[in-house]
Amino acid sequence: MTHLKWDRAHTARRDGRARRGMAAGPTEDELRELVARYKKEGLLVSNTPALVSSGASGIVEVTPSGAPEMTTKMTTEIVEVTPSVAIRWLEGNTHNRPLRQVDVERMTRAMREGRWELNGESIIFDAQGMLLDGQHRLWACVESGVAFRTVVVRGVHPRAFTTIDQGRRRSLSDHLVVASVTDGVAARTLSTTLVLVHRYRTGSIFTKEKLPPQVIIDLARGEPAIKEWLQRVLATGRGLRAFAPYVAATVYLGAERHPVEASTFVRGWVTGAGLEAESPILALRTRVAGNPPQTLQERFALAIVAFNAHLAGRALQRVRIQPDRFPKITGV
């Protein structure tokens, strides 16, 4: 069966991805192959209830016949959504916000890598079967070709649409606090430092996609020395503390090959004592106290340039960065 509405939407998304130089995602033929594979593996059976989940009132059968029928009361159940079911449910996505491609790609990767969790967040339909919330998750299911389990709520009144997703999203710093890994360090400062370390290692310093919170929590727990270096850097005066994550990430990464130089850099950064007129550390302190760059990438680059000059024993009157190339820490 051809779903014209879905075909048009998918074609528009595929063309948009092509213009941005990204993979187009699965074609309709590929999706048919996926559906056939699911049938072969027993995950999707034609003309019979495709999925079974446990609801509030016992066992609930979910048929593969498209969006849910109109209900007279609100119901909740846990459903395993396959790509074919996701396609049919997207047919009911007629009144929703524009898709954010970056969110679809983030969820797609999580599903492909097996990181998607059943966390209580729901896909919501109104009483007429119209999709109110969940389009990004459904598109990610289609593009990844991976089934996922989720809570499904049916029978919500259409006027409730304006109240969905109005809560404040947890930031990375919020997740660090909940995970109890901050130990007295300002959560936002620590989260920035962890993000810098991760992005430098993965070569994704210019990537705008948000990192999964668990990645940052695991990094904080697995490498507690990051927090220790940050605490040392934070011992500086108030005017320089906002720059602490960039210095801390730099010296932590550099300390693996240059532990002595990293310690002397931090000592000079914190105290400012005994610095020569053309010291790279003094040049960085002066630049930061004056008019530092605003972007995360430029600030990180400033710290790396000054640290590299410190390693090389090179004099610097002013720290300058090249806008078209991000620096590498010497030997790292």
What pLDDT digit, counting tens, does each position of 45-56 carry? Answer: 333 233 333 343
Q: Do the bridges between strand 148-156 and strand 122-126 make them parallel or antiparallel, or are there none, so unpaired?
A: parallel
pLDDT digits (tens, 9 = 90+) for 157-188: 887 777 777 666 778 888 888 888 887 788 89
Question: For residues 229 and 266, is the Cβ–Cβ distance under 8 A?
Answer: yes
Region label for 185, one of left (φ > 0), alpha (ψ between -120 and 50) or beta (otherwise): beta
The larger pLDDT score, comparing residue 328 to residue 174, is at 328
Question: For residues 153 and 124, is the Cβ–Cβ distance under 8 A?
Answer: yes
- Specify the long-range contacts of residues 270-278, CB closer than 8 Å, at least 24 apart: 270/232, 270/233, 270/235, 270/236, 271/236, 276/315, 278/315, 278/316, 278/317
Question: Which H or E element spans position 54?
Answer: strand 51-55
Question: What's the CA angle centered on 205, arms 255 and 227, to 5 degrees?
Answer: 40
pTM assigned to the model: 0.61
What average pLDDT does range 22-50 have in this prediction? Answer: 51
Q: Provide the pLDDT for residue 16.
A: 53
302 has a pLDDT exceeding 50:
yes
Handedness of CA 57, 61, 66, 71 (dihedral sign): negative
Question: pLDDT class for 3, splitting at 50, 70, 90?
Answer: very low
195 has a pLDDT exceeding 90:
yes
Q: Quote the crossing angle between the two packed helices 225-233 and 244-255, to the nearest 10°.
A: 130
Q: Provide the pLDDT for residue 58.
A: 32
261 has a pLDDT exceeding 50:
yes
Question: Mean of the per-residue pLDDT values for the chain?
Answer: 80
Beta bridge partners of 124: 133, 153
| Tokens found for residue 166 | 């109005």
Handedness of CA 249, 255, 261, 263 (dihedral sign): positive
Distance from chain centroid for Cα 237: 33
Distance from chain centroid for Cα 24: 21
Handedness of CA 6, 11, 17, 23 (dihedral sign): positive
What average pLDDT does range 86-113 have in this prediction? Answer: 83
Residues of the chain with pLDDT > 70, as a percent, come to 76
Distance CA 276, CA 283 (A): 10
99 has a pLDDT exceeding 70:
yes
Q: Provide the pLDDT for residue 92.
A: 66
Lowest-confidence range among 4-13, 69-78, 312-321? 4-13
Q: Provide the pLDDT for residue 168.
A: 63
3-state helix, strand, coil in the chain (%, to 5): 50, 10, 40
Question: pLDDT class for 71, splitting at 50, 70, 90?
Answer: very low
